[in-house]
Chain A
Amino acid sequence: MSSLHATSDLKGRKLGILLSTPPDHPNLETCLGLSREALSRGADVYLYMIDDGVRNIDDDRILELGRHGAKLFVCAYGCQRRRLPITEKATYCGLVVLTDLINGCERFVALN
């Protein structure tokens, strides 16, 4: 996260990202790169992990995004299906939140 002090040209803009693939999928790197760049430019980042993507919440790099201001959401149903515990790492929620992100973000990227 060394580039998080660069500019603030996207200050106040909202980027939503949907991540549905497991941690070993290349989408994780894309998600991390997009999120870091957006945060470094002052944007608000909302990351919604769903389906196999819920497992990414255990990746330290995702948690690092949270420490730099990204809002992390995890599909509660996806965790229940996989018998994964609810933790303090993120907000566990349902598809209503995803709908809100789709409607409320200037840019929305689905990494499926």
Chain B
Amino acid sequence: MAAEHVLVIVSGDPETSHRTNEAIRIALGIIAGENDVTIALLGPAAKVFSAEVEDYVDGEDTLKHIATLKKLGQTFHVERAVIPDDDNWNADGPTMIPISREDLAGLVAKSDRVLVF
């Protein structure tokens, strides 16, 4: 079974919704299936790299998932416009690639599957 290139786009607010954590959990599960996965964080979803993430909905789980993704060498594409000017943001997190909405369109175009949360 050939591996697919899967793009997981997350735009929910982890401060108020469990769905951001769930989307990252699903992305991690798909990566575990040895697929080539790209994770893109848009809008408020970038808060998963906030120093306060532990206090968010299912924040402890989110931290664990991100730590596992970092161990796996997974990078995160993050919408450039929402990256805060804060030294504590993504202080010890995985590699982060700032992207524009145009870059996102390119990621969509080269993906076999796109999951939008």
Contacts and interface: CB of A to CB of B under 8 A. Distances in A.
Interface stretch (A4-12, A29-37, A102-110): A102-110
Interface in B63-117: 113-117
A86 B48 CA distance: 32
Interface of A is mostly: helix
B32 interface: yes
Q: Which of A94, A96, A102 has the largest count of B CB atoms less than 10 A from its CB?
A: A102
Nearest to A21: B19
Contact of B33 (A50, A99, A112): A99
Interface in A50-86: 50-51
Contacts of A103: 1-4, 33, 35
A51 B21 CA distance: 10
Interface residues of A, number: 16
A98 interface: yes
Nearest to A50: B26
Interface string B1-39: 111101000000000001100110110111011010000
A100 B18 CA distance: 25
Nearest to B2: A103
Interface of B: 1-4, 6, 18-19, 22-23, 25-26, 28-30, 32-33, 35, 113-117
Interface of A: 18, 20, 50-51, 94-96, 98-100, 102-104, 108, 110, 112
Closest 3 CB pairs of A and B: A95-B29, A99-B33, A110-B115
